[in-house]
Amino acid sequence: MKHTLLIIIALLFSGMTFAQHTYDTDFTQTHLMKLSGKTKNKAGHLVFNGTDQLSMVYSEPEGEYFIIDGNMVKINLDGKKAELDAEKVKMVKLQRSTLLNCLLGNWEQAAEDNNADLTINEEKGLRTVLIKAKGKVPRGGYNSVEMTYDIADGKMTKLVLEEAIGVVNTYEIH
């Protein structure tokens, strides 16, 4: 009986520590260039299937997209189009891996990949997961990644990606 109770408690806690693994939702994005202070606001729809398929299609500005399809990363952002194989481009591999691991709740791996510390705080019904670089950030890595989740349903409500080059992208997930 005691073992069964411990197993049930462990399962409950393990379920509480993981993020929602699929998304089909709208988002808004604020793109901040820290050096100049300039911001751009964008909006779109995000679909994530829980593995290695992510689609962010923008409605504002219309026609922009960021897509992860297996190892391929396809972008059309700010007038720049590219189709990159993450296995061949180390920087893209790190960014792809970090984003997918964060969405999957594999925060420890995302922290390790970015030479970063991981902290998790819970307050006022929200879980905040912070991955913050310890020192030099690997090329293409992030100074910090901050994710906020609603504890009640496990859904991510906010994602903040601070790139080493001084760009901060904040995604509000609806």
Identify residue 18 by its one-letter amino acid code.
Answer: F
Show the tokens assigned to 42: 């964008």
Find, among 88, 87, 99, the residue nearest to 171 by Cα: 99
Query: 144 and 160 in contact (C-beta within 8 Å)?
Result: yes
Lowest mean pLDDT among 16-25, 65-74, 94-103: 16-25
| 18 pLDDT above the threshold of 80 | no
Mean pLDDT value across residues 136-149: 89
3-class DSSP state of 31:
strand
Q: Distances from the Cα of 174 to the Cαs of 8, 23, 52, 153, in angstroms? A: 32, 10, 21, 13
* Rounded distance between C-alpha atoms, residue 93 and residue 63, angstroms: 24
- Which residue is listed with tokens 């089909």? 24
Q: What is the CATH number of domain 2-173?
A: 2.50.20.10
- Which pLDDT score, from 0 to 100, does residue 155 have? 87
pTM for the full model?
0.84
| 81 pLDDT above the threshold of 60 | yes
* Residue ranges per structural domain of the chain: 2-173
